[in-house]
Amino acid sequence: MSDKTPFSVRSRVAQAMGRVEPTTRAIVPPIHVATTYERDPDNSYSSGYVYGRPDNATVRDAEAIVAALEEAGAGALLYGSGMAAATSVFRALEPGDHVVAPKVMYWALRAWLLGDARRAGLEVELVDTENLDALAAAMRPGRTRLVWVESPANPLWGVTDIAGAAEIAHRAGARLAVDSTCASPYHTRPLTLGADIVMHAATKILNGHSDVVAGALAGREPDAFWERLVAMRKSGGAILGPFEAYLLTRGLRTFHLRAAAQAASAMALAQRLSAHPHVARVLYPGLPDHPGHALAARQMENGFGYMLSIRVAGGEAAAVATAARVRLWTRATSLGGVESLVEHRASIEGPDTPCPPDLLRLSVGIEDAEDLHRDLDEALRAAHAG
């Protein structure tokens, strides 16, 4: 290998983009907690840092990793939560703008769109984005400014054709933003498929340890809309804190290893649970009978992700009883961590949810896959035994 041959993103991320602290030569990036910085004698800031609300060196380190993972030409922005990142994209629009989002998507963002976003003057339309004909029919050229998709979509794991959605959005003069939290850049890089912005709830698999709440945006091009997002975060103070950014960087350094292990275990569980006598259906894009499998096989790489859902035979009561009987799985909200979680999602989302009442959402961690299967198997059998 030549000295000039570039190293892979995986190698650079493992070393936090090769950053060595210049003063001490430490190989772990430091935490910069200062909120203000000294001016030069001529009253300028030669360091490039002015104040902690718009900028921070530890945050920049984590942003560089996210940008590299997503191949983001505009870079990345970190926020205090995934919701802060996602809603910033919509807040950057103008009152009266028409936006299109999926019928099945992350429930908290869906509720915000149908509530706060509409009250702020956005015209929000929910469509089946997995159906490109339906998506195209929803476009209003000159008025539609943003198309938001999620793929795979939580918690039913439908798959949207990102390249096709980008073409439809751009033809109508709109931008495409993709919530790729559950695919992660290990499996899908939406910007390379034509999307303009990708969003991650970095709380999830990017951090991977259930100890940080964070959100991220990555942009394909540094256009006027991206610069508006940069300016809004600067003025609004939604930046991630330095300690959280440090923890996120620490988690990102093992991202590739975790994502590979979690996807492999998710696939193994999906295959085995498909044959379980007390499972009516498994929802996972990696299974050949999944409606979006062929598209997922083209659009995703290195597997099909760490999330799946099962519909428990016997209905809601059996599903809740199954979750109550697990020992290794943890009953908790969230996803993407090293620990495996199970959740009866309809109970969380309430009466308007599109989620079936017999569904359990599974976030697969890094435990032994055989142990995870045995624990679910025992819980399912015990629930059905009464």
Residue numbers annotated as active site: 53, 106, 179, 204
Q: Is 337 helix (H, G, I), strand (E, B) or coil?
A: coil
* Size of the chain, expressed as the number of residues it contains: 386
Residues 248, 72: Cα–Cα separation, whole Å: 18
Q: Helices then strands (H, E): number in the chain? A: 15, 12
Q: Please choose, from the candidates 288, 283, 253, 277, the residue with its C-alpha nearest in 3D space to the C-alpha of residue 355.
A: 283
Spatial CB neighbours of 342, under 8 Å, sequence gap ≥ 6: 323, 326, 329, 330, 331, 360, 361, 362, 363
Residues 380, 318: Cα–Cα separation, whole Å: 8
Q: Is 253 helix (H, G, I), strand (E, B) or coil?
A: coil
- Cα 78 off chain centre by: 13
Strand 359-363 relative to strand 307-312, pairing: antiparallel
Spatial CB neighbours of 289, under 8 Å, sequence gap ≥ 6: none
> DSSP readout, 168-218?
HHHHTT-EEEEE-TTTHHHH--GGGGT-SEEEE-TTTTTT-SS----EEEE
Q: Kind and range of the H or E element at 99?
A: strand 98-102
280: amino acid identity, one letter: A
Residues 157, 295: Cα–Cα separation, whole Å: 12
127: amino acid identity, one letter: V
Cβ–Cβ < 8 Å for 266, 364: yes
